[in-house]
Amino acid sequence: MGNYRISFYDKQTDRSKNYDVAADDSDDAMKMAYKMPEAKNRNAEIWVSEIQDGPKLIGVRFAYTQFGRPYSQYLFIRAENEEQARAYYRKNIKGKKFYQPWPDKPTDSGNCTYGEIVETYFAIGDADNCPFDATK
């Protein structure tokens, strides 16, 4: 018996919804996913990932504006869970500046500010080499 995350991503609305479940294996978790109401959406992508013990790589999708238009971008934080990653982002990253270059635009037009969190998710990758570490 292990812990799994069932994720639904709606391509039309660009939104995702996640459920954490206990299942015997990933096939059992996928069977659970197909019984959920979100599985009836034809535009939804469904995937299952195992939730490991210990520090994980958490993806954070955040909002920002540039040229008066809303955008979103991603970064990764090493954390025990999504709540710890959100708290780390709010305390250490939100409100700081980053540079997003645009071709054919003035150099200073790439200055942006880290904004509100849009969503968080478990990411696949090497959590030990992540530049943002909420576990310290």
Q: How many CA atoms lie within 13 A of 77 on its CB side?
A: 26
- 33 within domain boundaries: yes
The model carries a pTM of 0.70
Assess whether pLDDT exceeds 70 at residue 108.
no
In terms of domains, do 60 and 125 share one?
yes
Residue 134 lies in a domain: no
Say if residue 37 is in the same domain as residue 79: no
| Mean pLDDT calculated for residue range 73-82 | 92
Rounded to a whole number, what is the largest CA-CA distance in the chain?
A: 55
Q: What is the mean pLDDT of residues 6-15?
A: 87
**What does the pLDDT read at residue 124?**
75
Q: What is the rounded average pLDDT of the residues 91-100?
A: 89
Indicate the number of domains in the chain. 2
